[in-house]
Structure 1
Amino acid sequence: MWMSEFAASIITTSTVACIHALYSPDRQKKPNNTNKMILSIVSSLLPDDGLSLEVFPDFQLASLKTLIAEEIMNRITPDRMFLYRDGHLLADGEKTLQELGLVDHAVLELHTRESIQALRQAHRAATSGATQGARNTSGDFMTDSEVIRLRLLGDQNMMNQLREQQPELAEAVNDPQRFSQIFQMLESRRRDAEREKQLETARLNDDPFNIESQRRIEELIREEAVRENLQNALEYNPESFGRVTMLYVPVEVNGHPVKAFVDSGAQATIMSPKCAEDCNIMRLIDKRFAGIAKGVGTAKILGRVHSAQIKLGDQYLPCSFTVMEGKDVDLLLGLDMLKRHQASINLKDNLLEFGDTKIPFLPENECPRSFDAPGQEDEPVVEGPAGSLVGGQSGAMIRPPAVNPNFQGPGHTVGGPSASEASASTSQPLLSQTTIPSPVPTPVNPPPLPSGRQTYHAPEKIAQLTSLGFSEAEARQALNTANGDVELAASLLFG
C-alpha cells in the first residue's frame, strides 16, 4: 500500500507536463521533429522571472495553454488564458506555434479576462482622473506600469523607440519598482502641466474684456489650430515629413570624376575653387568676370572658365563654369547647361536625360551630405505631438512620435488624453465663455475616413472578441477596420 502511495507522490506537475507534451496529438503527428524552442511567458500573475517552457514548433496553441496551466498548478485554466505576441492576440488554438510565427526564445504575454478588464478600468480611470485631481492610491500606477512594462519587454520595436524618447524609462524596464516610479513621475509632470493650463484658462476667462486676455485667448486658439493641423498631417499625410534627396549625377570634368548637383533653378553652372583645382582648370579662370553674386546671400565670384570638357554618361560636351566661393557644392549644373543641351529631368524614372543618353541620379547614400542638408546639426526644431520633433527649416521628421505607454494610439502623451481631447478641453471653455473680436482661424479638417459600411463577419470571429469583454458592436467595428483579421482587431480594441 505504501509503495503505491509513494509512486503516486513522485509524479510532479513537471512530470505531467512532460507526459502531456510527449503524447499530445500534435506531437504524435510529427514524431521526427526534434527541433525544440524555448518560450518565455511573462505576466503580472506569474513570479518576476516568469515562466520558461521548452516545446516543439508543431505544438498547438491550445496544448501550450494546457501546459502553462499544468506548470502553474492550474491556478489559471486554459479557457481563461489570453496569450499575446508583440501586442497581437494569438487567438487560433488549432494553429501550431510555427504557423503562428513563433520562434526560439520568443516572449509571450499572459493575461486573463479579469486582468484585461482591470486594465481597461484603470485606463478609463486614468483618462478621467486628469479633471478629478491626483489618484488616491498608487495601486493603479502599479497595475498600469506593470502591464506596460511586460508589453515593452515583448516588443523590440517599442523598446527601440522608448530608448530614443525616454531613455531613463527604458533603462528601468527590467526593474518593476523603478519603472513604476519613473512612470508615476512622468504622469505627475503631465498632470502639473495640465493643471497650469487649466489655471491659465480660468484666469483668462475671469476677465474676458481685458485686451491682453483677448490677445492671449486668440493666441491659444491659434496654437491649438496649429497643433491640430500638425497632428492631422502626421496622421493622414506622414510622407510630407520625409527628407527629400537632392539630385546628383556622376560626371567627369577634364577627366576628373565629380558628383554634380542638378539645379534647374540656378541661372549659371557653378564650380567651387577647390573643385577647379582638382580638375586642373584653375589656370583657365578669366578674372575679368570676377564680381559679387547676390541672391539669398552674397558670394565672391573669382571668374569664369569659358570652355572645358565635361562627360555626361557616354557623351563629351563643352561647358562653361562660373568659379564662385561660398558654396558647399563642388559642381552645380545650372539652367544654362541644361537648356543648351536640352536636358530633361525625369523624376518618374529618376533619370537625367540628354537626348538618347540617360543618367540615373545618385542614390541617397552616395550623395554628398554637406549640401543636401545645410546646417542640419544647428537646424531649429518644432515640437510636435507625442514628443515628435520636426525640422524648422527643412520640415523633415527629425524624431518620430514617442511610444505612448498607455498605447492609446497617435497623439497621446504618457498616461494622458488624446490630442483631440486635449484640444477640445482647452478650446471649448474659451470659445463658450469669451467673445473674440478678431477672426479665429479654423482648423483644417482631416480627410474623411472610410465609410463605416457593414461587412459580414463569421460569428466565430465575433465570439472570440466578445469573449474578451467587448460588445458585439465594438467587435464588428474592429473587424471592419482590420478587414476581418481577428488578431489585429483585438489589438485595436486593447490599444
Structure 2
Amino acid sequence: MRICLTNELGDFKTVEVSATIELENLAPLIQAELGVPPAAQQLFFNGNLLGNPKSTLASHRIGQDDIILVRARRPPPGAAQASAVAGAPAGLSRAELARQQILADPEILRRLTTQNPALSGALSNPQQFERLFNEMERQRALLEQQQEQAMRDLENADVFDVEAQRRIAEEIRKANVAQNMETAMEYHPESFGRVVMLYINCEVNGHPVKAFVDSGAQATIMSPDCAEKCHVMHLLDERFAGIARGVGTAKILGRIHSTQIKVGKLFLPCSLTVMEGKGVDLLFGLDMLKRHQACIDLEHNVLRINNEEVRFLAEHELPEFAKLEASGDAPSDETRGGPSASGAAPAPAAASGAASAPGAPQPAAAPPTSGPSPSAAAAPPPSAVPQAAAPRHAESAIRGLMDLGVSREQAIAALDACGGNADLAASMLF
C-alpha cells in the first residue's frame, strides 16, 4: 500500500510498503527519504506517538494514503553546546551546522526568510544565529518534557478523579487543535498568510492619492494632511466637527460637502469627512460605494463603477504604512498618531464607528451652528490621551499560543525567538 511520510519542515515523501511491515523495519526507509536517523525518529499518526518498534502499520490502523509525521528527537537543553554533531567537523555545533546548511540551500533560505525573518537576518552573524537557534531548541525541548510529564501524570491518575478526567479532556482538546492546525497548514496553507488590503489610484483636485477601499466604513474619510495637499481644506465646514467613536476615538475636524474625485476616467462627486490620526490619506467608505453603485470584483481584482474598471494595487504599490501593516510591522498607535483596533487595519476600524460624520449630525457631532462644536472643544484629541506602552507582541497571538497549552511566558519567548511570527512559533512549540 502507499503511505506518506512528512516532517516538521513540510516535506512529503510517498513510499510503497506492506501493511504488515514493522516500525523498526520502516526506520531505514524513513532515513533514506527524510534523512532522520533511526535512533532519533519519533513517529506520529493522528497525533498519537507510535512507540512500539515491533508493532506493524496495520496494528495502528494505518491504511492507504495515510500520513505519518516523523519528528527528530531533540537533545536535552545545553546538549547541543556540549558536544559536536555526529559526522560534522570537530567543534562544529548544531547551530553552526544548521546555519551552513541553510546558506547552502536556496530553497531552505527562501522558506526561512518568509517564516522567520529574525533567524534568517542573523545568518550573517554566527553568534547571534547560535543564540536564537539554541533558544528555539531550548523552548522546544522544555515543552516536550512538560508534555511528556503531563501525560505520565495523567496515565497514573485515578480514573475516578474528576479533576484528572477534566485534564485528560483538555489534553485531548489540545491534541485536536494541533491536528486541526496541521491539517490547515497541509491543505490550505494560504489561510496563514496576510491579506493585502484594497487600494486604488485616484485623483482629488488633480492631486494623485492612493485610496483605501473599505465597504465596512460608514463614511468616506480624508486626513487633514491629504486635504491640505489637495487644496480642499478651505472648504472645511467646522460646524460638523466632533468625535468619532468606534473601536477607539478620533477627532473629526469637519466636513467637505462636495468635491470631485477622479477614479479611472470618471469624475465622481463626493462628500468627505476630515478626521485626524487615522494613518490613511483617503478612505472610500460605504456611502461612496453605494452612491455610485460600485462593485468590488475580487475575481478580476478591480473596482467597477459604471462599467469603468480600476484595478486594485499590488502589494509593492501600496502606501508605506500599508506595506508595513501587510508585513505585520505596522507602527504603534503612538508613532502613528491615533488609536486603532487591535489586530485590524486602523483606518476602517475607526471609520466604521464614525456615525457622527455623514448625513445629519449625530450626538457625537455638534449641530450646525455658527460656532465650533462644544463636544469637540471639550474633548481632547486622541493623541493627547496618555496611553500604556504597547506589548512586544499582539495579545491575540499570545492568547492563541496559550490556547494550545503553553504558559504565557513560553508563548512570549517563542514569539521572541520567531520574530513575532505566531504560525512559526506554534510549529516550533509543537
**Which residue of structure 1 lines up, in the alignment, with residue 144 of structure 2?**
194
In the TM superposition, residue 240 of structure 1 has moved relative to its aligned partner by 0.9
Given the superposition, is the C-alpha separation of residues 229 and 128 from structure 1 closer, same or farther in structure 2, using an over 3 Å criterion?
A: closer
Given the superposition, is the C-alpha separation of residues 203 and 320 from structure 1 closer, same or farther in structure 2, using an over 3 Å criterion?
A: same
Given the superposition, is the C-alpha separation of residues 194 and 309 from structure 1 closer, same or farther in structure 2, using an over 3 Å criterion?
A: closer
In the TM superposition, residue 166 of structure 1 has moved relative to its aligned partner by 5.8
The 2-side partners of 1:149 and 1:274 are apart by 47
**Which residue of structure 2 lines up, in the alignment, with residue 317 of structure 1?**
268
The 2-side partners of 1:371 and 1:258 are apart by 14
In the TM superposition, residue 296 of structure 1 has moved relative to its aligned partner by 2.2
Check the 8 A contact 2:119/2:133 in 1, yes or no.
Answer: no
Check the 8 A contact 2:202/2:262 in 1, yes or no.
Answer: yes
Aligned positions of 1:30-429 closer than 5 A: 123-127=37-41, 142-143=86-87, 154-159=104-109, 164=116, 193-208=143-158, 209-371=160-322, 373=325, 376=330, 379-380=393-394, 381=397, 398=421
Given the superposition, is the C-alpha separation of residues 125 and 258 from structure 1 closer, same or farther in structure 2, using an over 3 Å criterion?
A: same
TM-score by structure 1 length? Answer: 0.46
The 2-side partners of 1:370 and 1:121 are apart by 43
Given the superposition, is the C-alpha separation of residues 280 and 379 from structure 1 closer, same or farther in structure 2, using an over 3 Å criterion?
A: farther
The 1-side partners of 2:166 and 2:136 are apart by 32
Given the superposition, is the C-alpha separation of residues 200 and 272 from structure 1 closer, same or farther in structure 2, using an over 3 Å criterion?
A: same
Check the 8 A contact 1:247/1:362 in 2, yes or no.
Answer: yes
| Matched residue type, 1:142 | A
Check the 8 A contact 2:136/2:428 in 1, yes or no.
Answer: no
1:153-174 deviation per Cα after TM superposition (whole angstroms, max 9, x unaligned): 752332565685767996799x
Q: Secondary structure at the match of 2:86?
A: helix
RMSD, aligned CA = 5.1
Q: Secondary structure at the match of 1:142?
A: coil
Q: Secondary structure at the match of 2:175?
A: helix
**Which residue of structure 2 lines up, in the alignment, with residue 8 of structure 1?**
none
The 2-side partners of 1:133 and 1:302 are apart by 59
The 1-side partners of 2:218 and 2:121 are apart by 52
Identity, % of aligned pairs? 45
Given the superposition, is the C-alpha separation of residues 322 and 231 from structure 1 closer, same or farther in structure 2, using an over 3 Å criterion?
A: same
The 2-side partners of 1:235 and 1:245 are apart by 22
Check the 8 A contact 1:388/1:401 in 2, yes or no.
Answer: no
| Matched residue type, 1:330 | D
**Can you give the 5+ residue segments of structure 1 that lack an aligned partner in the other structure?**
1-86, 88-113, 174-178, 403-410, 414-418, 420-495
Check the 8 A contact 2:99/2:123 in 1, yes or no.
Answer: no
Q: Secondary structure at the match of 2:37?
A: helix
1:211-232 deviation per Cα after TM superposition (whole angstroms, max 9, x unaligned): 4444433332222222211111
1:60-81 deviation per Cα after TM superposition (whole angstroms, max 9, x unaligned): xxxxxxxxxxxxxxxxxxxxxx
Check the 8 A contact 1:141/1:184 in 2, yes or no.
Answer: no
The 1-side partners of 2:219 and 2:122 are apart by 54
The 2-side partners of 1:158 and 1:388 are apart by 25
The 1-side partners of 2:285 and 2:210 are apart by 14
Given the superposition, is the C-alpha separation of residues 171 and 142 from structure 1 closer, same or farther in structure 2, using an over 3 Å criterion?
A: farther
The 1-side partners of 2:170 and 2:185 are apart by 22
TM-score by structure 2 length? Answer: 0.52
| Matched residue type, 2:41 | T
In the TM superposition, residue 148 of structure 1 has moved relative to its aligned partner by 7.7
Q: Secondary structure at the match of 1:304?
A: strand
Check the 8 A contact 2:294/2:305 in 1, yes or no.
Answer: yes
**Which residue of structure 2 lines up, in the alignment, with residue 437 of structure 1?**
none
Which structure is larger by alpha-carbon Rg, 1 or 2?
1
Given the superposition, is the C-alpha separation of residues 379 and 351 from structure 1 closer, same or farther in structure 2, using an over 3 Å criterion?
A: farther
**Can you give the 5+ residue segments of structure 2 that lack an aligned partner in the other structure?**
1-10, 12-27, 44-48, 52-72, 77-81, 89-93, 332-391, 405-409
